[in-house]
Amino acid sequence: MDYLFLISTALILLGAILLAVSLSPTTKIIRELAPGSTQSRWRLLRGFIVLFIAGYLVCLGTFSVERDTSHVVVSSIFFLGACFVLLVCVLAHGTVQDIKRIATLEAETITDSLM
């Protein structure tokens, strides 16, 4: 088996795994949001991530064992795209947590009997 094929396959599989991991912070955000348009948009994003995972796996099935450097380039782009999606989801979840913490502190400041 050609090493370029193995590299391409590994990058696509790792990308699909990273996308699957990104579903966790996305689902946590959805659970923390009140029902409405923002929650619906996050559900839509989660649906796109699932479609991307399927697309990665379909793309994997189209690769041939023949030596072709374009497969490595495409696989690298897919992998980096998955890294980007995961990073954005993790950062967004952290931001939601920070906003909730700030809102709690503000509420405690307003209701604190020592003030």
Distance of CA 18 to the CA centre of its chain: 7
pLDDT in tens, 98-112: 999 998 888 888 776
In the block, residue with structure tokens 């996305």: 26
Residue 106, pLDDT score: 85
For residue 1, pLDDT over 60 is answered with: no
Alpha-carbon distance of 85 to 101, in angstroms, equals 24
pLDDT in tens, 27-83: 999 999 889 999 999 999 999 999 999 999 998 888 766 667 888 898 999 999 999
